[in-house]
Amino acid sequence: MRHLCTLFGILWLLVPNCHSSAQVASIQDTFANEVKILKQLVSVQNFEKAQLESVFFIEFLERQSLPLNAETVSLLSAIYAGNRDKRSAIQMLWQAEANAKQNPNPVTKAILLDTLVKKYQSWGITDRALACQQLLSTTKDSIESGKRKLESLAMQQRIDSLSQIQAKQVEEKATYFQLDRQVAYAIAGFLALLILVLLFQNYRTNKKWAKLLDKKELEWEIMKANIRQEAEENTAQQILTATQSSAASDGNDAKQNVYYNPKPEQIALLIEPNRQVVLYLKSLLSDRFQVETARTANEGLQMVNELLPDLIVCDALLNGKSGIEIGRQIKLSDKSNHVPLVLLTNKFGNEGKLDALRAGADAWFTRPVIDDEFDASIQRLIDTRKELHHDFNRTLHLYFTDNRIGLKDPFMQKVCSLIEENLANPDFMADEIARKLQLSKAHFTKKINALTGKEPIQLIREMRLEKAKTLLEKRAGTPNAISELVGFSSPGTFALAFKEYFGENTMLLYSIPNNKYI
């Protein structure tokens, strides 16, 4: 029973609130409809009917205790002006002024006062217009003051927030490890100095190992040259032994003769698309060369750059492409311009010779090739290469003398000039020459060997010794001083090398004046 009473009590309290909300909605709708009717009557200038409606409208506002706002004041003032009813207008304006004074909202109050000032002025009531103007100024000041208070409050909130953030940062910094600025600078300077010392030490170590590696490579090159020389001597001795045993054997034992055919060291490249021609030329060259073949122009140029052969035989026509142009490219390249080139052509007489000249060929043949003439031409090219080596040796012996002979080959001029400029440097290696001439070590070594018959390290050593001999003959200094001038690390090594190369002692070329001593 008690719960039922409580439920009825709650429902009794909620019902008036529901009626109150419905009443407010009804009053708002009535207010809006009245204002709409008055606007329509004013728009058609039916001020008499509008006056009657305004009476009902004012009575409605009084019954509902609703204040006049700026819109209703303007609308009612227009109706009274249309009917020239100043008295009703003044009463309405006074009522609106009283409502404005009681309005707690400064914004809507200011709007209503601004409207009242304008309407009092339009009806010629200046004293009330002035009073409303003063009240309007006071209201605006209060609005500005409120804005400034809100801004001050927002600013204070920001300041408080920043203060909290700063306090939090201070607390976090307190947990970090901190150093004094001078101490931090000192530690940074020490670390930088330590890094510089380590870098310098690493540089010195790398330089030291680089020198050791160059010396080991030099020793290895010398060892390979000695091994190659011993192998050539052994090969010659075996051939001589086999020849003698063959000559001493009987004719019936001819089948038992021993022949030793060492593998040729020189390489010949055939750029020829016809397989039968390739087989035929292989049979003519295989006793003196290792024969490599290429069927196309691109393949041939690639193999020239990779193998750097000792002889090139190229057909004038390669599957529709001109072998003459391939020959020109070979002869214009610094890597391969020293390689003898033989051109095979279908033309005869001066036309074939003109093709050879256009290709830069050293010899040319009209197909079909005659084996005897081909063998003779290849042998002439080999003999020309040997004569070239002999001429270079003669030039080298006179290179540092007053009877010096100029080198004809531009490549060898550059090489000898670089060696001459660095004779005093004991660490000067052939790799540096190859790098300056933009050649690989293998290509540089093979080209030097083809032009001089010497290894690059051998050429450098012989030029040092030739320079030393010239200086000794001119008494330019003691043997010890001259050994340093030509890049030998010790006088003992210089003396042994000089004795091995020239077959005489350095002191025999250097006579000491009577008034001087070493």
How far is residue 496's CA from residue 505's CA, in Å, rounded to a whole number?
9
What pLDDT score was predicted for residue 164? 86
Residue 9 pLDDT level (bands cut at 50, 70, 90): very low
What pLDDT score was predicted for residue 10? 38
Q: Are strands 317-318 and 321-322 parallel, antiparallel or unpaired?
A: antiparallel
* 191 CB-near residues (< 8 Å, 6+ apart): none
Q: Which is the CATH superfamily of the domain at 267-385?
A: Response regulator (3.40.50.2300)
> For residue 497, is pLDDT > 70?
yes
In contact, 117 and 133? CB cutoff 8 Å: yes
pLDDT averaged over the chain?
81
**Measured between alpha carbons, how far is residue 58 from residues 37, 61, 343, 408 in Å?**
14, 5, 126, 127
The single-letter code of the amino acid at 381 is: L
- pLDDT tens figures, 369-398: 877 888 888 889 888 888 988 988 998 888
Planar angle of CA 319, 323, 325, nearest 5 degrees: 125
CB atoms within 10 A of CB 238: 13
Residue 14 pLDDT level (bands cut at 50, 70, 90): very low
> For residue 506, is pLDDT > 70?
no
What pLDDT score was predicted for residue 460? 92
Structure tokens at 150: 């809100």
> For residue 195, is pLDDT > 90?
yes
Domain coordinates in residue numbering, the chain: 29-149, 188-233, 267-385, 398-509
Return the CA Rg of the chain. 59
Length of the chain: 518
Residue that wins the pLDDT comparison between 12 and 509: 509
Residue 293 pLDDT level (bands cut at 50, 70, 90): very high
Q: Which is the CATH superfamily of the domain at 29-149?
A: Tetratricopeptide repeat domain (1.25.40.10)
What pLDDT score was predicted for residue 269? 92
Of the ranges 5-14, 88-97, 231-240, which one carries the lowest mean pLDDT score? Answer: 5-14
Sign of torsion, CA 489 495 499 505?
positive
What CA dihedral angle connects 99, 103, 109 and 115, to 10 degrees?
-10
What pLDDT score was predicted for residue 456? 92
The architecture (CATH level 2) of 398-509 comes to: Orthogonal Bundle (1.10)
* pTM of the complete model: 0.47
State how far Cα 82 lies from the chain centre: 87
Residue that wins the pLDDT comparison between 241 and 9: 241
Beta bridge partners of 271: 294, 314
Residue 167 pLDDT level (bands cut at 50, 70, 90): confident
